[in-house]
């Protein structure tokens, strides 16, 4: 029977009391009135020394006895049939252990330059390369298309052959996804056309690749029928499950280990072809195989953020109320899917009528993969600029206009307020492009929207030993966000110890099920399980202490420093004295993340960022002077971790706004910049001062109340910058990356 708990929930100190049913075994959720020692404070990550001393071992560093080296041979052509593979020369090379084809039957098609054709494994990396050079592959080249606009044309080469594909692959432009499901284009058009004001504009954004600093890769090792995979992944269990499916082996026979991993941003969720190839090579060669991709392979084949061509239409009354929002978008995820950009248009503002229509377009390019808030940064870039345009058109302040049109989102309202004040919004000149001189300053803002995602079922196990030590195990991988630190903080909080007292082992599917680090769900999905486990452990210890002190369990409390005492403080025992009496020397409890205790109605995560820029109208260069970011993430766990996510999200946004661009040569279909020199990502000099503010949003929906923040932080950055640029120069930049030449082009049109 669940008990009823009274909780104080709300935004910051603006709290209301609600009653929530809580299962008996669970602690009372932390709420707005709980002042905690660690939770919500700034705690440096507890694995910091591992990383700064080089002791952290990544998949890249794994070396197991007998290990050999895998290598993938990829198609140099964007579209072709593989007609012949002759690996006889390579097979003769001593030390070459296995050569496999991606498909057994010849011929088979390849649809992008960089697609896997053959994989082999040899004793050294050099030898593998030498062998690869000896494999002769014949291709029958086919017409191809790598450009979004070209692919949409009537007579464009088809990326998928209609005769041997599923129904929805028969043309390059897939049927649009319509929102709402029964939505009609005519209906929204009618609303927009009858509005006092209507604005329509078209935007383009580029393809961005993930570029984690550790490239993708695995080490696969078979031991009889059992398989161990060291993987640089965001989802240990996802890799395990997909490999199990692919090879039809029991999940229980596969172990995936990810102790440290060098970033993923969405591209390391799936097991992907390279993992399957490594596993297969290892089985054939009967030796462990290491297969790490090169930077170039990473760019070509491991995913990307699709580009977009978006037309946004917004209607509003002369009083400044949005009447209708329409988005029509096209984008290419290469041979994959998922180029939609409609999130921001659908869910940020309270418009009467909203309609979005998103179409994926196939091209001969590597498939996309979820990339930090898929669809949203590019969606926000287009949509939030159109909103800005409308505000100026009506003659309203862009912030005012936004406040007026998102009244239902109380959290967002609080964020506007903090942001405006911290940024000094009112000090800005309301007129765009008003500043004299060559270098012009501007200020702008943009909203972000993301979703509260978690999946129930994660569990962790916690052990307390009779020497007083505490260990927690979870299968979760740390993608870099630093989940281990909040885990330690939570246990420390509950057991009145220090975070550094807690030994945490993660990154192994032999431990409890954990969330995949995607969708910003790790913290929301895992921390309640951790707290629940710590709470159970605490009950066990209180019981032991009560027995030792010969009082009722209700009479005993645990306080700072791990001290057990009776309520009247007459009797006291320290942590070690109590744990020393643990029967059999150890106990273990588990904690599980169940469904939320109640339906909070808050399914979204808000956020707003303000940018100040300087634009040099002679060189077209834009400098971001400062950013102010306000985000919510439920009850904040470790503020340093959260700030770090926000800083990182903003820099990725800046990098996306100005530099990153995957360029495919139209004539050859090959990527021109598959490196980190010409594919540029932001560096230390591109960092503006960043001020971040986090809303304390207590909902009491789980025992910790945590919600993620990783993705939201990168959504509005490019849009806020673009709005600031408009404010500076009075000209809209509707294309990304906003390079000097794009800016100059826009300026010369004036």
Partner 1 sequence: MHRAPTHNALCAFSPIPILQFGQININPYFPVRSMKQVISMSTKISFVLDGKIASIDFNREKRYTPTTTVLNYLRSLPNHKGTKEGCAEGDCGACTVVLGELGHDRKIHYKAVDSCLVFLPMLHGKQLITIENLKSPDDTLHPVQQAMVDTHGSQCGFCTPGVVMSLFALYKSAIKPTRLNIEEALSGNLCRCTGYVPIIEAAEKACVKKKKDHFSGNEKTVSKLLQKIKRNSLSLKTGNQNYFCPKSVNESLQLRKKYPNTLIICGATDIALRVTKNYEKLPEIIDLSFISALQGISHKKNSTEIMAGTTLSEIKRYANNRFLALHKMLTVFGSDQIRNLATIGGNIATASPIGDIAPLLMAYHAKIVLVSKKKKRRLAIEDFITGYRKTACRKNELISAVIIPHPKKDTQIKFYKFSKRKDLDISTVSGGFYLELAKENKVKSIKLAFGGMALFTRRAYKTEKFLEGFEWSFKKVEQAGTILEKEFRPISDARAGAEGRILAAQNLLLKFWSETRVD
Among 334, 480, 591, 653, interactor with ligand FES by CB under 6 A? 480
In three-state form (DSSP H/G/I as H, E/B as E, the rest C), the secondary structure along 565-614 is EECCCCCEECHHHHHCCCHHHEEEEEEECCCCCCCCCCCEEEEEEEEEEE
With respect to partner 1, which residue has the nearer C-beta, 295 or 393? 295
Q: Which of residues 202-221 bind ligand FES (CB under 6 A)?
A: 213
Residue 710 as a binder of ligand FES (CB under 6 A): the answer is no
Residue 88: CB atoms within 10 A of its CB come to 11
Among partner 1, ligand FES, none, what binds residue 618 when CB lies within 5 to 8 Å by partner kind? partner 1
Residues 6+ apart with CB under 8 A from 736: 204, 205, 206, 378, 381, 656, 657, 718
Residue 57: CB atoms within 10 A of its CB come to 13
In contact, 612 and 625? CB cutoff 8 Å? yes
Residue 44 as a binder of partner 1 (CB under 8 A): the answer is yes
Taking the C-alpha atoms of residue 220 and residue 232, their distance in angstroms, rounded to an integer, is: 12
Bridge partners for 285 per DSSP: none
With respect to ligand FES, which residue has the nearer C-beta, 516 or 645? 645
Among ligand FES, partner 1, none, what binds residue 634 when CB lies within 5 to 8 Å by partner kind? none
Shortest CB 214 distance to ligand FES, Å: 8
Binding mask 81-120 for ligand FES (x = CB under 6 A): ----------------------------------------
* Inter-axis angle of helices 522-549 and 484-495, nearest 10: 30
With respect to partner 1, which residue has the nearer C-beta, 249 or 687? 687
Among 171, 165, 170, 168, CA closest to 152:
171
Sign of the four-CA dihedral 406, 407, 413, 419: positive
Query: 478 in helix, strand or coil?
Result: coil
Query: Strands 308-316, 197-205: parallel, antiparallel or unpaired by DSSP?
Result: antiparallel
Query: Strands 254-257, 226-231: parallel, antiparallel or unpaired by DSSP?
Result: parallel
Residue 700 as a binder of partner 1 (CB under 8 A): the answer is no
Among partner 1, ligand FES, none, what binds residue 519 when CB lies within 5 to 8 Å by partner kind? none
What is the C-alpha end-to-end distance of the chain, expressed in Å? 70
With respect to ligand FES, which residue has the nearer C-beta, 215 or 236? 215
Shortest CB 510 distance to ligand FES, Å: 26
Query: Strands 690-695, 502-505: parallel, antiparallel or unpaired by DSSP?
Result: unpaired
Among 44, 263, 433, 740, interactor with ligand FES by CB under 6 A? 263
Shortest CB 344 distance to ligand FES, Å: 27
Stretch that binds partner 1, among 58-66, 342-350, 400-408, 425-433 (CB under 8 A): 58-66
Bridge partners for 706 per DSSP: 634
Residue 681 as a binder of partner 1 (CB under 8 A): the answer is yes
Shortest CB 370 distance to ligand FES, Å: 18
Residue 295 as a binder of partner 1 (CB under 8 A): the answer is yes
Question: CA-based diameter of the chain, in Å?
Answer: 88
Residue 667 as a binder of partner 1 (CB under 8 A): the answer is no
In contact, 372 and 266? CB cutoff 8 Å? yes
Residue 457 as a binder of ligand FES (CB under 6 A): the answer is no
Shortest CB 270 distance to ligand FES, Å: 20
Q: Which of residues 612-631 bind partner 1 (CB under 8 A)?
A: 618-621
In contact, 717 and 646? CB cutoff 8 Å? no
Among ligand FES, partner 1, none, what binds residue 216 when CB lies within 5 to 8 Å by partner kind? none
Nearest-CB residue for ligand FES: 213
Residue 47 as a binder of partner 1 (CB under 8 A): the answer is yes
Stretch that binds partner 1, among 182-190, 207-215, 361-369, 490-498 (CB under 8 A): 207-215
Among 10, 70, 114, 262, interactor with partner 1 by CB under 8 A? 262
Among partner 1, ligand FES, none, what binds residue 686 when CB lies within 5 to 8 Å by partner kind? partner 1
With respect to partner 1, which residue has the nearer C-beta, 634 or 737? 737
Among 553, 473, 466, CA closest to 510:
473
In contact, 540 and 533? CB cutoff 8 Å? no
With respect to ligand FES, which residue has the nearer C-beta, 346 or 372? 372
Among 294, 311, 441, 563, interactor with partner 1 by CB under 8 A? 294
Binding mask 421-450 for partner 1 (x = CB under 8 A): -----------------x------------
Shortest CB 213 distance to partner 1, Å: 4
Shortest CB 480 distance to ligand FES, Å: 5
Q: Which of residues 634-653 bind partner 1 (CB under 8 A)?
A: 640-641, 643-644, 646-652
Q: Kindly list the distances between the CA atom of residue 669 and the CA atoms of 330, 364, 380, 581, in Å, as whole numbers in the listed order.
A: 20, 7, 29, 70
Sign of the four-CA dihedral 331, 334, 335, 339: negative
Among 6, 84, 103, 126, interactor with partner 1 by CB under 8 A? 126
Among partner 1, ligand FES, none, what binds residue 408 when CB lies within 5 to 8 Å by partner kind? none
Angle at 627 between CA 624 and CA 628, to 5 degrees: 165
Stretch that binds partner 1, among 313-321, 346-354, 381-389, 668-676 (CB under 8 A): 668-676
Taking the C-alpha atoms of residue 392 and residue 726, their distance in angstroms, rounded to an integer, is: 11
Bridge partners for 200 per DSSP: 313
Residue 53 as a binder of partner 1 (CB under 8 A): the answer is yes
Residue 94 as a binder of partner 1 (CB under 8 A): the answer is no
The continuous run of DSSP H or E covering 213 comes out as none
Shortest CB 37 distance to partner 1, Å: 19
Taking the C-alpha atoms of residue 719 and residue 201, their distance in angstroms, rounded to an integer, is: 14
Taking the C-alpha atoms of residue 646 and residue 411, their distance in angstroms, rounded to an integer, is: 18
Residue 95 as a binder of partner 1 (CB under 8 A): the answer is no
Shortest CB 709 distance to partner 1, Å: 13
* Interface positions with ligand FES (CB under 6 A): 213, 263, 480
């Amino acid at each position: 029977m669940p008990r009823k708990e009274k909780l104080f929930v709300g935004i910051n100190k603006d709290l209301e009391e609600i009653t929530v049913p809580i299962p008996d075994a669970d602690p009372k959720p932390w709420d707005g009135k709980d002042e905690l020692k660690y939770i919500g404070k700034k705690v440096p990550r507890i694995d910091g020394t591992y990383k700064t001393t080089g002791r952290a071992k990544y998949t890249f560093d794994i070396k197991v006895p007998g290990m050999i080296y895998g290598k993938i041979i990829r198609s140099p052509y964007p579209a072709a049939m593989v007609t012949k593979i002759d690996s006889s020369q390579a097979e003769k090379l001593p030390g070459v252990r296995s050569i496999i084809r991606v498909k057994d039957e010849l011929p088979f098609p390849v649809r992008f330059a960089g697609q896997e054709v053959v994989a082999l494994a040899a004793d050294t990396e050099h030898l593998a390369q030498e062998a690869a050079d000896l494999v002769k592959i014949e291709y029958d080249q086919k017409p191809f298309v790598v450009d979004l606009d070209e692919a949409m044309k009537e007579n464009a080469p088809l990326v998928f052959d209609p005769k041997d594909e599923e129904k929805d692959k028969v043309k390059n432009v897939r049927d649009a996804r319509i929102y709402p499901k029964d939505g009609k284009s005519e209906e929204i058009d009618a609303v927009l056309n009858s509005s006092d004001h209507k604005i329509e504009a078209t935007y383009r954004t580029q393809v961005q690749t993930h570029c984690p600093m550790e490239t993708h890769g695995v080490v696969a090792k078979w031991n009889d029928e059992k398989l161990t995979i060291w993987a640089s992944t965001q989802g240990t269990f996802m890799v395990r499950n997909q490999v199990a499916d692919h090879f039809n082996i029991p999940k229980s026979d596969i172990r995936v280990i990810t102790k440290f991993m060098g970033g993923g941003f969405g591209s390391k969720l799936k097991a992907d072809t390279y993992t399957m190839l490594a596993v297969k090579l290892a089985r054939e060669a009967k030796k462990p195989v290491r297969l790490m991709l090169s930077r170039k392979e990473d760019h070509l084949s491991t995913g990307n953020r699709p580009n977009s061509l978006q037309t946004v239409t917004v209607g509003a009354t002369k009083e400044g109320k949005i009447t209708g929002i329409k988005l029509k978008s096209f984008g290419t995820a290469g041979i994959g899917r998922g180029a939609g950009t409609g999130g921001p248009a659908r869910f940020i503002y309270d418009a009467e009528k909203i309609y979005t229509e998103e179409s994926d377009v196939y091209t001969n390019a590597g498939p996309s993969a979820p990339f930090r808030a898929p669809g949203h940064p590019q969606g926000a870039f287009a949509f939030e600029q159109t909103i800005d345009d409308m505000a100026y058109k009506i003659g309203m302040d862009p912030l005012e206009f936004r406040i007026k049109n998102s009244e239902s989102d109380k959290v967002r309202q609080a964020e506007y307020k903090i942001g405006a004040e911290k940024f000094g919004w009112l000090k800005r000149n309301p007129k765009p492009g008003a500043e004299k001189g060559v270098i012009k300053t501007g200020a702008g803002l943009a909203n972000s929207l993301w979703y509260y995602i978690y999946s129930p079922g994660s569990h962790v196990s916690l052990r307390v030993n009779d020497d007083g030590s505490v260990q927690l195990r979870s299968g979760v991988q740390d993608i870099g966000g630093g989940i281990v630190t909040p885990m330690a903080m939570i246990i420390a909080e509950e057991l009145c110890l220090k975070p550094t007292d807690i030994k945490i082992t993660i990154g192994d599917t032999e431990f409890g099920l954990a969330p995949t680090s995607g969708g910003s769900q790790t913290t929301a999905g895992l921390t309640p399980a951790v707290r629940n486990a710590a709470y159970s452990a605490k009950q066990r210890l209180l019981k032991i202490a009560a027995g030792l002190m010969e009082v009722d369990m209700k009479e005993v409390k645990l306080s700072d420093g791990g001290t057990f005492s009776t309520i009247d403080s007459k009797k006291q025992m320290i942590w070690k004295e109590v744990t020393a009496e643990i029967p059999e020397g150890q106990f273990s409890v588990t904690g599980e993340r169940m469904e939320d205790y109640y339906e909070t109605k808050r399914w979204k995560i808000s956020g707003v960022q303000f940018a100040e820029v300087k634009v040099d109208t002679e060189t077209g260069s834009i400098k971001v002077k400062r950013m102010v970011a306000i985000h919510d993430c439920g009850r904040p766990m470790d503020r340093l971790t959260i700030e770090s996510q926000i800083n990182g999200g903003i820099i990725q946004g800046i990098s996306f706004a100005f530099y990153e661009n995957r360029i495919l040569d139209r004539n050859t279909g090959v990527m021109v910049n598959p490196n980190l020199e010409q594919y540029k990502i932001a560096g230390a000099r591109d960092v503006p001062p960043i001020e971040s503010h986090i809303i304390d949003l207590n909902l009491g929906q789980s025992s910790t109340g945590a919600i993620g923040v990783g993705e939201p932080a990168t959504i509005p950055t490019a849009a806020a910058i673009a709005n600031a640029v408009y404010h500076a120069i009075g000209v809209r930049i509707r294309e990304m990356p906003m390079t000097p030449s794009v800016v100059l082009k826009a300026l010369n049109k004036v």
